[in-house]
């Protein structure tokens, strides 16, 4: 076999030369991505840049791995029908029931809708129907970018967008990216883990540490503090609740790699252009709102094989226990009976995209930003062909 390769080398070399020349011509004349003007987050941190994505030798970029959107959104999710582990007054319905009762569907303009039942009057003590789904795919690191018009809120409502490690909880970790209760205005990012993973308070992020009895929750250990985990509350009123929805929603992004787990949020008018273009570059986004650094937590040990989860529950351990101080009327059990209280308990999702990291040898972030993902693939193929050409022509 080795002999035949040597024998056919020169003619293959010529073919490769022609292909590499054509590829180079394509990449040279391909159009750059269209430019759009977007207002960036009004935060002094947005001017800061992290050097971790570029070097004289190579560039790390995030390339698309999975896209969840439109009519096919639910094809790769599983509907959870078990008991709510947070003791909510909720019944999670199966896929057929969710579709037939319009608790889950996709609109004609490809908006993904998931919601709690907002049409049925209930007797006292009866659970309200809702939806919880988990992705069939599991992930170990990645960049997760959720674009949504609305996240659920309202008295007694407790929604979450999170990732959950397979196996016995909490040994493979839990990452709560969007979570809140009632009509709060500030999103909370939280990590729940086995003992030994801790939040580093000196890490640069813009949010505020969640406390228990006046003490910062730095231990992510799910077995203490009534499973409070280690959490960070976002500073922005546009990160959760009615104000977030009134601004047309926005984007939440979670970067999970060996450098840590960080979360950003952007309301609609402040979404970075690189996200719009499908070439996300977290080093351009300034300080995250929350970050779990590897200095006090072994990321690859505590977060393993995560599925993506969306849910909407009612009352329960957080929304139920905090109801008396929420400013909402009556009790959580009472308010659960009237469907009109849940008209805002809906997810409206444009897309969820998961990216994986890739390294471009000898590249730069500026060069990457001038090419679409398709162009980058052509450049990569051309580089491989050029290498083969050099090897074969030298024979």
Catalytic status, residue 179 = yes
Q: Which residue has the tokens 């074969």?
A: 392
Residue 318 to residue 384: CA distance in whole angstroms: 54
Torsion over CA of 83, 84, 87 and 89, rounded to 10 degrees?
-90
Catalytic status, residue 174 = yes
Of the candidates 346, 338, 344, 318, which has an alpha carbon nearest to the alpha carbon of residue 128? 338
Three-state secondary structure along the chain? Answer: CHHHHHHCHHHHHHHHHHHHHHHHHHHHHCCCCCCCCCCCCCCHHHHCCCHHHECCCEEEEEEEEEEECHHHHHHHEEECCCCCCCCCCEEECCHHHHHHCCCEEECCCCCEEEECCCCCCCCCCCCEEECEEEECCCECCEEEEEEEEECCCCCCEEEEEEEEECCCCCCCCEEEEEECCCCCCCCEEEEEECCCCECCCCCCCCCEECEECCEECCECECCCHHHCCEEEECCCHHHCCHHHHHCCCEEEEEEEECCEEEEEEEEHHHCCHHHHCCCCCHHHCCCCCEEECCCCCCHHHHCCCEEEEEEEEECHHHHHCCHHHCCCCCCHHHHCCCHHHHCCCEEEEEEEEEEEEEEEECCCHHHHHCCCHHHHHHHHHHHHHHHHHHHHHCC
Measured in degrees and rounded to the nearest 5, phi and psi for residue 242 equal -60, -35
Q: Which of 179, 234, 287, 291 is catalytic?
A: 179
Q: Which of 174, 234, 287, 291 is catalytic?
A: 174
Residues acting as catalytic residues: 174, 179
């Amino acid at each position: 076999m080795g002999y035949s390769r040597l024998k056919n080398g020169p003619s293959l070399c010529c073919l490769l030369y022609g292909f590499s020349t054509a590829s180079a011509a394509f990449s040279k004349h391909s159009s750059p991505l269209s430019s759009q003007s977007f207002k960036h987050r009004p935060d002094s941190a947005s001017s800061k840049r992290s050097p971790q994505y570029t070097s004289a030798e190579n560039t790390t970029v995030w390339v698309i791995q999975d896209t969840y959107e439109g009519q096919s959104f639910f094809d790769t999710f599983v509907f959870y029908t078990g008991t709510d582990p947070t003791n909510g007054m909720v019944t999670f319905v199966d896929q057929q029931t969710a579709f037939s009762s319009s608790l889950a569907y996709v609109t004609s303009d490809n908006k993904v809708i998931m919601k709690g039942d907002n049409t049925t009057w209930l007797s006292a003590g009866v659970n309200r129907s809702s939806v919880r789904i988990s992705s069939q795919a599991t992930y170990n690191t990645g960049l997760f970018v959720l674009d949504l018009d609305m996240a659920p809120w309202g008295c007694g409502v407790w929604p979450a967008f999170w990732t959950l490690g397979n196996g016995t909880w909490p040994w493979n970790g839990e990452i709560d990216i969007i979570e809140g209760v009632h009509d709060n205005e500030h999103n909370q990012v939280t990590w729940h883990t086995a003992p030994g993973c801790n939040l580093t308070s000196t890490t640069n992020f813009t949010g505020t540490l969640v406390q228990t009895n006046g003490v910062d929750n730095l231990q992510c250990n799910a077995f203490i503090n009534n499973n409070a985990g280690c959490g960070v509350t976002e500073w922005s009123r546009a990160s959760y609740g009615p104000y977030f929805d009134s601004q047309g929603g926005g984007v939440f992004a979670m970067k999970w790699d060996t450098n840590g787990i960080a979360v950003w949020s952007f309301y609609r008018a402040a979404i970075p252009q690189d996200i719009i273009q499908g070439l996300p570059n977290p080093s351009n986004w300034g300080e995250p709102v929350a970050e779990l650094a590897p200095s006090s937590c072994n990321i690859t040990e505590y977060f393993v094989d995560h599925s993506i989860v969306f849910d909407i529950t009612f009352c329960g351990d957080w929304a139920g226990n905090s109801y008396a101080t929420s400013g909402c009327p009556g009790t959580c059990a009472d308010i659960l009976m009237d469907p009109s209280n849940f008209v805002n308990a809906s997810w409206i999702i444009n897309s969820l995209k998961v990216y994986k990291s890739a390294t471009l040898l000898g590249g730069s972030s500026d060069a990457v930003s001038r090419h679409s993902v398709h162009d980058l693939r052509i450049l990569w193929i051309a580089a491989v062909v050029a290498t083969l050409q050099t090897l074969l022509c030298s024979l």
